[in-house]
Amino acid sequence: MLTLDSSALLQEAAALLRQQGQLLHSRTLAGQTRAKGKTDFVTAVDTRVQENIRMALEQLTPGAALMAEEKDNAAVDLNGAVWVLDPVDGTTNLIHGFRHSAISLALAVEGRVELGLIYDPYADELFTARRGKGAFCNGEPIHVSGAAALADSLCSVGTNPGCRDQADAAFARMRRIYDRCHDVRRVGAASIELCYVACGRLDAYLEHGLKPWDYAAGMLIVAEAGGRVTDFAGDAPLLDASRCAILATNGQIHSELQSLL
């Protein structure tokens, strides 16, 4: 069904993300917000980026499906080729002008991610991976950190504002980790936190209640950079899970962290 090879597809998708990433600089569009829930927002940047990318992908790969945050995904069949898109990961950051948001795009075939791209327009960093071909930031190879113990690590712990019923457990988990590592961080954009694990700025990132578009691209980028991504139970994250607790590490501290979850 896909006529372009994965290298050509990655190049086309990369150009698309760099182009659409410019919309994240618009404070006018970021100011046009609508609440989907008490702490869950969508801006005109989200809807415009999604629509532009949807139209471009339809031209690029006719027949491939699209799973994306700001649309109904009930008809998406994961057995075929599916683009998985988060048009703005870090919408709350975007609204507040806290310059850490990204576009995240993955291509999955039969439920397995083959391509992953995450573009942070503020840092002008494009993270990419193709299955079996390594991970890159702006074309340069990246690798996870060499931290061998939690005691030597910097960990990002997500608070997931959409799952407040799990806040007590999440903050207790954060405290257990904080007590055992250099410090904890929180960027507020799952995709960027996964990229930071991939390039060694963080040794680990974990968060409960994520959706497939938060982690589809990032989990391939981490894996191709030599790291490990599982759910909290140690199983491979699925794209059809409605919510998934994600643990991404440099591999070396994975089991030590998992035992604290």
Q: Interface with ligand IPD by CB under 6 A: which residues?
A: 69, 86, 89-92, 158, 160, 162, 188-190, 207, 210, 214
**Least distance to Ca ion from the beta carbon of 115, Å?**
18
- Residue 207: name the closest of 175, 159, 163, 255 by CA: 159
Please tell me whether residue 69 binds Ca ion under the rule CB under 5 A: yes
Q: Which is nearer to ligand IPD, 67 or 109 (CB)?
A: 67
**Least distance to Ca ion from the beta carbon of 184, Å?**
20
Please tell me whether residue 193 binds Ca ion under the rule CB under 5 A: no
**Least distance to ligand IPD from the beta carbon of 197, Å?**
14
Largest CA distance in the chain: 51
Q: Can you give the three-state secondary structure of 166-206, one letter per residue?
A: HHHHHHHHHHHHHCCCCEEECCCCHHHHHHHHHCCCCCEEE
Find the binder of Ca ion among 214, 215, 250, 257 (CB under 5 A).
Answer: 214
Please tell me whether residue 89 binds Ca ion under the rule CB under 5 A: yes
Token digits of residue 68: 């994306």
- Residue 193: name the closest of 96, 87, 88, 102 by CA: 102
Token digits of residue 160: 């997931």
Phi, psi of 153, deg, nearest 5: -120, 160
How many residues form the binding site for Ca ion (CB under 5 A)?
A: 5
Q: Which positions from 26 to 65 touch Ca ion by CB under 5 A, shown as an x/- string?
A: ----------------------------------------
Q: Which is nearer to ligand IPD, 190 or 225 (CB)?
A: 190
Q: Which is nearer to Ca ion, 84 or 129 (CB)?
A: 84
Which residues would be at the binding site for Ca ion (CB under 5 A)? 69, 86, 88-89, 214
